[in-house]
Amino acid sequence: MSDDVSAPARVAVTEAAAELLVRLRAKHGDLMFHQSGGCCDGSSPMCYPDGDFLTGDADVHLGDLAVDEFTVPVWMSRNQFEYWKHTHLTIDVVPGRGAGFSVEAPEGVRFLIRSRLFTDEEWAALEGA
Amino acid sequence: MTVYAAPGTDGAIATYRARYDHWIGGEYVPPANGQYFENPSPVTGRTFTEVARGDADDIDRALDAAHGAAPAWGRTSVTERAIILNKIADRMEEHLEELAVAETWENGKPVRETLNADMPLAIDHFRYFAGAIRAQEGSISEIDGDTIAYHFHEPLGVVGQIIPWNFPILMAVWKLAPALAAGNAVVLKPAEQTPASILYLMELIADLLPPGVVNVVNGFGAEAGKPLASSPRIRKIAFTGETTTGRLIMQYASQNIIPVTLELGGKSPNIFFGDVAAARDAYYDKALEGFTMFALNQGEVCTCPSRALIQSDIYGDFLADAVARTEAVKQGNPLDTDTMIGAQASNDQLEKILSYFEIGRAEGAKVLTGGHRAELDGDLAGGYYVTPTIFEGRNEMRVFQEEIFGPVVAVTQFADFDDAIKIANDTLYGLGAGVWSRSGETAYRAGRAIEAGRVWTNNYHAYPAAAAFGGYKGSGVGRENHKMMLDHYQQTKNLLVSYSPQKLGFF
């Protein structure tokens, strides 16, 4: 999902989450994710109509999820990224209620981050990219 | 031992309605769109009531009611408002057991906590602010012999409040009591996981408050929370939750130029200095309980002591005792007064906690106890239970840096005072911290060096009114639980008055 084919993607999406994104896009238009931290529904990815959440220099663009015919950008606070950057993130979905203003909650489901460590090869490629 | 009957069964002391509308203008009002959502109890995973699914139209109606009530409410004397707050406290006290059972059923937390912490604290909070508003005074500055500046406190008007699900009634009261004491009208949106217990309370106190002073609209964040937070008709927004939504709410507030208060969580260090283990006495026992506080409220507390830092010279023995203490935590039916840890509040919470068990193990953190879902029998089989879990690892691991919001503590060791402070402050957050030492000097210096708004010293997880609570760094803006909270709900009116008959002479 990066332009640089040699660097591995930092983010991915499961099939179930991708199907949900297709339905949500039909309802809300273009979408974006911002990974949250902290209390309650924290440490969860928040899905918003694209541009509803203002990103800036305080954020890192982790990549774009390629879903169907469109893409969904994924963002995270720069200071949070420092603690997360050694892990690959996959956006999944589970039954649940959610909280916050994430657009999937009314569907009775909640996006969820699944993480794995980058392999040494991937990490070297990311560091070099 | 008492096991309370579940609401909706024979002998229950708390009974939920089958359906809840919005609470607007002092009565139940059906949602404009006619839609409702199911509300399951985390105790069993089964739906026990359905709740109005609000949207912008309902928020507007609630704001109409609030604006209708605010002027007269803001003009009532502080004596009248204090009397009402005290009456609310008395009414809650009369129904304490009933409210505690209702809260446990909706949230999943053990009833021993709602009986002995959530409800008593909420009751006391109304009394504290009833007293604080009576004692509040404006000020006078004598500029010179003829010129006086008078400072009056005035209510903001109509304010918005968005409440989390971890202490549904207590967190609502933390925000309602100061807002009402200061003379504001409120539109409140509970969390979608716990929409009903606050309505249970509103019904109980309906005759005490003028209609429209408190309005409750339920629904999902994207559908009801957003139109409230972004409304140009509120003069302030208060939110407890996580960082991304906190930022979003600040962005909305910037468009309307209104103040925000935010309480956004933490990754609180709980520091045990070597002298804790100088004797195996009552204090040592208290310190072990302090360690185990990570399991309070199933770890669903923004100040959960989710990082335990133990000095190297006592590390092995203290940790062994702490593991034993954790394994003695009794998990079971939240309605049983012997139960110490109940159910996580929702399925997605449960799934998130389990996902952190995976990444914790993958990063090399060692599971000393727990690390899995707890499977309970019978009616509880469908509930969301997790075994209290201790990870051992290093502070840079993600289980040390992210708020898991479950009964999970990450443990590491430190060499000396400076090392302890360095690790404690190596976090994005700064809400709570714990310091345990028999030395007053060590405890004092540690408390002052830690970048957090609340440092519990030789205790943990106490939340008395009159102790200011709020965050440093990424943990938010503003302070709750203290009379200074009144400032967050008041404007300052300055009258600058000249008593001189003499002109200035400029014109």
Chain A (4-33) residues lying within 8 Å, Cβ to Cβ, of chain B: none
Instruction: Specify if B468 maps to a domain.
Output: no
Which strand (E) or helix (H) includes residue B188? strand B185-189
Q: Give the angle B269-B461-A84 at the CA atoms, nearest 5°.
A: 35
Q: What is the pLDDT at residue A5?
A: 52
Using CB atoms, which residue from B191, B220, B242 is nearest to A36?
B242
Phi-psi domain of B265 (left: phi exceeds 0; alpha: psi -120 through 50; beta: other): left
Write the CATH number for A105.
2.60.300
Based on the fold, state whether residues B178 and B225 are members of the same structural domain.
yes
Quickly tell me which residue has 């971890």 as its tokens. B166
Same domain, B286 and B227: no
CB contacts of B248 in chain A (<8 Å) are 46, 48, 52-53, 101
The model's pLDDT over B315-336, given as tens digits with 9 standing for 90+, comes to 999 999 999 999 999 999 999 9
Rounded CA Rg of chain B: 24
B192: which chain A residues are within 8 Å (Cβ-Cβ)? 97-99, 105
Assigned domain for B345 exists: yes
Phi/psi of residue B9, nearest 5 degrees? -115, 170
Q: What is the pLDDT of residues A28-81, one digit of tens each?
A: 999 999 999 877 777 899 999 999 999 999 999 999 999 989 999 999 999 999
pLDDT classification of A127: cutoffs 50, 70, 90? confident
Q: Which chain B residue shows the shortest CA-CA distance from A34?
A: B244
CB-based contact B347 A97, cutoff 8 Å: yes
| CA separation for the pair B479, B483 (Å, rounded) | 9
pTM exceeds 0.90 for this model:
yes
Looking at residue A40, what is its pLDDT? 73
pLDDT band at residue A128 using 50, 70 and 90 as cut-offs: confident
DSSP for B271-334? EE-GGGGGSSSHHHHHHHHHHHGGGGGGG-STT---EEEEEGGGHHHHHHHHHHHHHT--BS-T
For residue B427 the two structure tokens come to 């976090």
Q: What is the CATH number of the domain that holds B180?
A: 3.40.605.10
Pick from B183, B223, B185: nearest CA to B493:
B183
Partner residue opposite A106 with nearest CB, options B220, B240, B245: B220
Closest-CA distance of chain A to residue B166, Å: 7
Q: How far is B282 from chain A (nearest CA, A)?
A: 33
Residue B222 gets which letter from DSSP? I
pLDDT given at position B199: 98
Chain A, chain B: beta-carbon pairs less than 8 Å apart: 164
Domain annotation covers residue B70: yes
Characterize B155-176 residue by residue with b for buried, 16 or more Cβ atoms within 10 angstroms of its Cβ, and e for exposed: bbbbbbbbbbbbbbbbbbbbbb
Given an 8 Å threshold on Cβ–Cβ distance, is A99 in contact with B474?
no
Chain B residues whose CB is inside 8 A of the A32 CB are none
Residue B334 to residues A117, B135, B294, B301, B406: CA-CA distances in angstroms?
37, 40, 17, 17, 16
Task: Tell if the CB–CB gap between B193 and A115 is shorter than 8 Å.
Answer: no
**Boundaries of domain holding A102:** 11-128
Task: Return the C-alpha torsion angle B89, B94, B96, B102, nearest 10.
Answer: -100
Total domains, chain A: 1
Taking the C-alpha atoms of residue B108 and residue B9, their distance in angstroms, rounded to an integer, is 17
Check CB contact of A65 with chain B, cutoff 8 Å: no
Asked whether residue B165 is domain-assigned, the answer is yes
Residue window 70-129, chain A: list those with CB within 8 Å of chain B.
77, 79-80, 83-84, 87, 94-103, 105-106, 110, 112-117
Q: What is the least distance, in Å, from the CA of A91 to any CA of chain B?
A: 12
Does B89 share its domain with B207? yes
What is the model's pLDDT at position A2?
45
CA distance A74 to A67: 13
Known catalytic membership, residue B263? yes
Q: Which residues of A touch B166 (CB under 8 A)?
A: 39-40
What is the C-alpha separation between B35 and B216, in angstroms, rounded? Answer: 16
Does some domain include residue A6?
no
pLDDT over threshold 90, residue A98: no
Chain A residue with Cα closest to B363: A117
Residue B322, judged by CB atoms within 10 A of its CB (0-12, 13-18, 19+), counts as: buried
Which residues of chain B neighbour A43 with C-beta distances below 8 Å? Answer: 242, 352, 356, 402-405
- Give a yes or no: residue A2 inside a domain: no
- DSSP structure class, residue A118: P
Within this chain, do residues B111 and B198 fall inside the same structural domain, yes or no?
Answer: yes
- Domain containing residue B320: 269-457
Mutation choice for B interface testing from A101, A118, A123 by most B CBs within 10 A: A101
Inter-residue contact B183 to B39 (CB < 8 Å) = no
Provide the 10 A C-beta neighbour count for residue B136.
15
Residue B73 belongs to a domain: yes
Which chain B positions have a beta carbon within 8 Å of A112's beta carbon?
Answer: 348, 351-352, 355
For residue A2, the distance in angstroms to the closest alpha carbon of chain B comes to 24
* Residue B487 DSSP label: G
Looking at the fold, whether B115 and B44 belong to one and the same domain comes out as yes
Residues in chain B: 507
Nearest of B85, B66, B74, B90 to residue B160 by alpha carbon: B66
Q: Are residues B388 and B283 in the same domain?
A: yes
Cα B486 from chain centre: 17
Q: Is B375 exposed, middle or buried (0-12, 13-18, 19+ CB in 10 A)?
A: exposed
**Which of A48, A54, A110 comes nearest B348 by C-beta?**
A110
Could you tell me the two tokens for B94?
């009369």
Beta-carbon neighbour count of residue A51 at 10 Å? Answer: 11
SS3 letters across B239-275:
EECEHHHHHHHHHHHHHHCCCEEEECCCCCEEEECHH
Whether A75 is in a domain gets the answer: yes
Task: Give the residue on A whose Cα is nearest the Cα of B239.
Answer: A100
CA distance B123 to chain A (A): 24
CB B24 within 8 Å of CB B215: yes
Helix (H, G, I), strand (E, B) or coil at B398: helix
Tell me which residue in A34, A39, A115 faces B403 most closely, judged by beta carbons.
A39
Angstroms from A71 CA to nearest CA on chain B: 21
Q: Do A114 and B225 touch (CB under 8 A)?
A: no
Structure tokens at B253: 């507030």
Is A77 in a helix, a strand, or coil? strand
Contact B403 A115 (CB under 8 A): no
Whether residues B50 and B130 fall in one domain: yes
Which H/E stretch holds residue A96? none
Question: Which residue is listed with tokens 């699944």?
Answer: A114
**Residue in A with minimal Cα distance to B55:** A106
* Structure tokens that stand for A122 in this block: 């991937």
Taking the C-alpha atoms of residue A97 and residue B193, their distance in angstroms, rounded to an integer, is: 6
With residue B52 as reference, give the H or E element that holds it: strand B47-52
Q: What's the rounded mean pLDDT across residues A16-22?
A: 97
In tens, the pLDDT along B46-95 reads: 999 999 999 999 999 999 999 999 999 999 999 999 999 999 999 999 99
Answer yes or no: do B259 and B273 share one domain: no
Is residue A105, in this structure, part of any structural domain at all? yes
Instruction: Tell me if chain B has a CB within 8 Å of the CB of A53.
Output: yes
Cβ–Cβ under 8 Å, residues B111 and B104: yes
What's the token pair of residue B142?
A: 């004598």
* SS3 call for B451: coil
Residues B193 and B241 in one domain: yes
B315-327 vs B282-292: helix crossing angle, rounded to 10: 70
Q: Judge: A43–B242 Cβ closer than 8 Å, yes or no.
A: yes
Examine the pLDDT at A1 and tell me if it is beyond 80. no
Instruction: State whether B168 and B243 are in the same domain.
Output: yes
* Among A109, A107, A46, CA closest to A77: A46
- How far, in Å, CA of B448 to CA of B320, rounded? 29
Dist CA B466 CA B476 (whole Å): 19
Q: Are residues B312 and B447 in the same domain?
A: yes
Closest residue in chain A to residue B193, using alpha carbons only: A97
Give bridge partners of residue B262 from the DSSP assignment.
Answer: B239, B477
The nearest CA of chain B is from the CA of A86 a distance in Å of: 10
CB-CB under 8 Å, A40 with B241: yes
Catalytic residue among B192, B263, B300, B392: B263
Let me know: does B288 contact B324? Beta carbons within 8 Å.
no
Same domain, B135 and B181: yes
Give chain B's domain count: 2
**Residue B477 dihedral angles phi and psi, to the nearest 5°:** -135, 130
> Which token pair is B311?
């000095």
What is the mean pLDDT for each group of 10 consecutive residues in chain B (507 residues)? 95 98 98 97 96 98 98 98 98 98 97 98 98 98 98 98 97 98 98 97 98 98 97 98 95 97 95 98 98 98 97 98 98 97 93 95 97 94 95 96 95 98 97 98 98 98 97 95 96 98 96
Strand partners, B366: B392
Among the partner-chain residues B241, B359, B363, the one whose CB lies closest to the CB of A39 is: B241
Mind listing the pLDDT tens digit for each residue in B195-248? 999 999 999 999 999 999 999 999 999 999 999 999 999 999 999 999 999 999
Please name the member of A39, A84, A99 whose beta carbon is closest to the beta carbon of B302: A39
Query: Which of A37, A46, A117 lies closest to B403 in CB terms?
Result: A37
| Torsion of the alpha carbons at B50, B53, B177 and B126, rounded to the nearest 10 | 0
Query: Could you read off the pLDDT of A83-97 as tens digits, one per residue?
Result: 999 999 999 999 988
Q: Is residue A4 part of a domain?
A: no
CB–CB of A38 and B223 under 8 A?
no
Q: Do residues B491 and B155 make contact, with C-beta atoms less than 8 angstroms apart? A: yes
Q: Check pLDDT > 80 for residue A129.
A: no
